[in-house]
Amino acid sequence: SCLSLPSSWDYRHVCAFIGLPESIIAAACSRSGRRVLHVDSRSYYGGNWASFSFSGLLSWLKEHQENSDIENDSPVWQDQILENEEAIALSRKDKTIQHVEVFCYASQDLHEDVEEAGALQKNHALVTSANSTEAADSSFLPVEDESLSTMNCEMLTEQTPSSDPENVLEVNGAEVTGEKENHCDDKTCVPSTSAEDVSENVPIAEDTTEQPKKNRISYSQIIKEGRRFNIDLVSKLLYSRGLLIDLLIKSNVSRYAEFKNITRILAFREGRVEQVPCSRADVFNSKQLTMVEKRMLMKFLTFCMEYEKYPDEYKGYEDITFYEYLKTQKLTPNLQYIVLHSIAMTSETASSTIDGLKATRNFLHCLGRYGNTPFLFPLYGQGELPQCFCRMCAVFGGIYCLRHSVQCLVVDKESRKCKAVIDQFGQRIISEHFLVEDSYFSENMCSRVQYRQISRAVLITDRSVLKTDSDQQISILTVPAEEPGTFAVRVIELCSSTMTCMKGTYLVHLTCTSSKTAREDLEPVVQKLFIPYTEMEIENEQVEKPRILWALYFNMRDSSDISRSCYKDLPSNVYVCSGPDCGLGNDNAVKQAETLFQEICPSEDFCPPPPNPEDIVLDGDGLQPEASESSAIPEANSETFKESTNLGNLEESSE
């Protein structure tokens, strides 16, 4: 239940919404000695950066549907606004998610006693509408005469057994045992917890069903193994030399997380999925390239690593696209395709020559730091990253409160600065600085803002898009746009060792900039790479495409790169954070966090390393309880400092 916050506390910073940029800023401010209050109306951490178990995702879908039905009641805080003040009402509706569609292709042979292993609640809701405003609650089993237009259910056979996921991270030959052995909803160091956390330590029951001859997965098994899933709302990877990795290492926040290296980069060409050689060894061992092509590719990539030293090579080509520039180089069409789509990860029209060369150099620069590809993925999903920074903020005194909404901003008429916020209980919370996520602002305040949209799809499949000897592959694939006005689709396929899906399945994320609804944008790519999971295809041994067990489509608002001036009457001490952008990396969130932190604390270092426990001097010998509380922080640092960070140790061992 929600409790009133201490009104006598002198907060320096109040953050409404707990996304990645806000979490980084909160951690940086708390680390610098500021008193931070972090509130969110949601019951989970991360906002649109969050990760969910399967039942958690279904609950999120239900909340989204209920959110669309909220009526803006007459505000109860109007009586608290003084004569010299005015209020800026905040929105109660989350309008960042639209056009939600859910499809289930696995057998729906559910019975009333089927529930998620370790969960307390039996019934979950499933959104089956074509858009958010028409969503309707339904049980997992449709009513006899009920027609679910977006559901495609086929009868399957018995469940397949599941085993415990691995708890050891292996990157580039180094082995790191994780501190976290359970679901990602673990909220260590944070006082507020979500409903799912109550059952955190309940062991997951093993399925003792006899192994069938064929790998047939039913919907009831997905429900039962739902806590094996950690499904990201936003699909991203971490560049091994990107800003976020550098920040994680510098601040020592990486001790709260573990990572796996992306094992392969794929290309989709002429209807086939192929693996792209990345490192020098991969290039020379590749059977897809001729010896001449290998020399051509190595020569061009060597140039890209230091292209700024050779301006004559690209002088005169700055105003054309990178695609046109590649045509002028001594590269075969096959190599042009690989460099454009799988290394620079751009399209024929999206990047200039300079942008393409920068992207290629960045890709090559990140190779070899932690493995054979430039990318890392956090175990348990992208939603771990905001929680990591929340933990750091909490360690240094930050206060967190979930399920606690902010109703309005209180603005002083003379100074035009925000002096307080009023929460759902009518309590006034005073602070110097306020961070608010874009989605909290009302339609009137955002009337001049033009938003882009991100098209997202999440699939649960039964096999990889490119089968190899190992079933534990983490892959990224870029499918080029085929029609004018559409965008390339990024496909990230995760295996069970990432702790994001149950054993025997893969979790596939598709992302692109929206031109239509998510389903209209992404379904053509889904149809190229996958087929629906039906009994007929199971009996056909020759089927090579992965089969879709379950699919979700939705559009997410992209509020990145929105100028502050676009918001009407924004007080000078209210800072706007954006939601996730469509880019592959997290650089935009880190840049935004650092920029806003420097505006708030211009003379402070951004997320400095934690102090060495041996150098910490405790003030005063007085009150014993306070001394013991103070010593808790260096004790925690001492426990983890010797480990350095997983990232730091691995970097030394790999380079």
Domain ranges of the chain: 13-66+76-95+380-450+560-600, 274-375
Please report the pLDDT score of residue 219 as a whole number: 93
Above 70 in pLDDT, residue 566? yes
Res 80: pLDDT: 83
- Report whether 248 contacts 192 (CB < 8 A): no
Q: Does residue 638 surpass a pLDDT of 70?
A: no
pLDDT at site 71: 58
More confident residue, 291 or 130: 291
Residue 208, pLDDT > 80, answer no
Does the structure show a pLDDT above 90 at 53? yes
pLDDT at 350: 84
Greater model confidence, 633 or 426: 426
| Percent helix, strand and coil across the chain, each to the nearest 5 | 30, 20, 50
Give the pTM: 0.80
**In this predicted structure, which of 146-160, 207-221, 388-402, 549-563 has the lowest mean pLDDT?**
146-160
Q: For the ranges 102-106, 177-181, 229-233, 317-321, which has the lowest average pLDDT?
A: 177-181
Q: Are 186 and 131 in contact (CB under 8 A)?
A: no
In sequence order, which ranges of 452-586 are alpha helices (DSSP H)? 518-529, 535-539
The DSSP letter of residue 215 is -
Percentage of the chain surpassing pLDDT 70? 72
Tally of CB atoms within 10 A around 462: 19
Q: How many residues does the chain have?
A: 655
* Closest of 197, 216, 148 to residue 139, by C-alpha: 148
Look at residue 92 in the predicted model and tell me its pLDDT. 82
The whole-angstrom separation of Cα 585 and Cα 345 is 12
Q: How many C-beta neighbours within 10 Å does residue 174 have? A: 15
Question: What is the per-residue pLDDT for 284?
Answer: 84
Measuring CA to CA, which residue among 164, 158, 179, 160 is closest to residue 228?
A: 164
| pLDDT, mean of residues 239-255 | 95
What integer pLDDT is reported at residue 627 of this predicted model? 36
Q: What's the pLDDT tens digit per position in 443-486? A: 888 988 999 999 999 999 999 999 988 889 999 999 998 888 88
**Least confident interval from 128-132, 389-393, 435-439, 593-597:** 128-132
Report the range of poorest mean pLDDT among 389-398, 597-606, 624-633: 624-633
- The type of residue at 121 is Q
Task: List, for residues 432-445, the tens digit of each pLDDT value.
Answer: 999 999 999 988 88
Distance of CA 355 to the CA centre of its chain: 25
The superfamily CATH assigns to domain 274-375 is: Guanine Nucleotide Dissociation Inhibitor, domain 1 (1.10.405.10)
Strands (E), 144-283: 168-171, 174-177, 231-232, 238-239, 259-261, 264-269, 272-276
pLDDT of amino acid 146: 33
Mean pLDDT for 556-573 is: 92
216: enclosing H helix or E strand: none
Exposure string of 350-362, with b = 16+ CB inside 10 Å and e = fewer, is bbbbbebbbbbbb
Tell which CATH architecture fits domain 13-66+76-95+380-450+560-600.
3-Layer(bba) Sandwich (3.50)
- What type of residue is 155? M
d(CA 576, CA 434): 9
pLDDT, tens digit, 9 for 90 and up, residues 210-246: 444 456 889 999 999 999 999 999 999 999 999 999 9
Predicted pLDDT of residue 315 = 87
Give the alpha-carbon dihedral of 194, 200, 202, 208, to 10 degrees: 100
Classified as helix, coil or strand, 199 is helix
pLDDT at 617: 65
Residue type, 389: F
- Please choose, from the candidates 159, 162, 236, 157, the residue with its C-alpha nearest in 3D space to the C-alpha of residue 206: 162
Average pLDDT rounded to a whole number, residues 392-413: 92
Least confident of 219-223, 522-526, 633-637: 633-637
Which of 82-91, 491-500, 580-589, 637-646 has the least mean pLDDT? 637-646
- Predicted confidence (pLDDT) at residue 183 exceeds the cutoff of 50: no
Residue 142's pLDDT band (boundaries 50, 70, 90)? very low
pLDDT in tens, 292-322: 999 999 999 999 999 999 998 888 898 899 9
DSSP class of 382: T
Which pLDDT belongs to residue 119? 53
Cα-flanking dihedrals φ and ψ of residue 639, to 5°?
A: -65, -35
The whole-angstrom separation of Cα 40 and Cα 21 is 14
b (16+ CB within 10 A) / e for 199-233: beeeebeebeeeeeeeebbbbbbbbbbbbbbbbbb
Residue of 70 and 59 predicted with greater confidence: 59
| Arithmetic mean of pLDDT, 70-88 | 77
Q: Is residue 89 over pLDDT 50?
A: yes
Please state, rounded to an integer, the average pLDDT across all residues of the chain.
Answer: 79
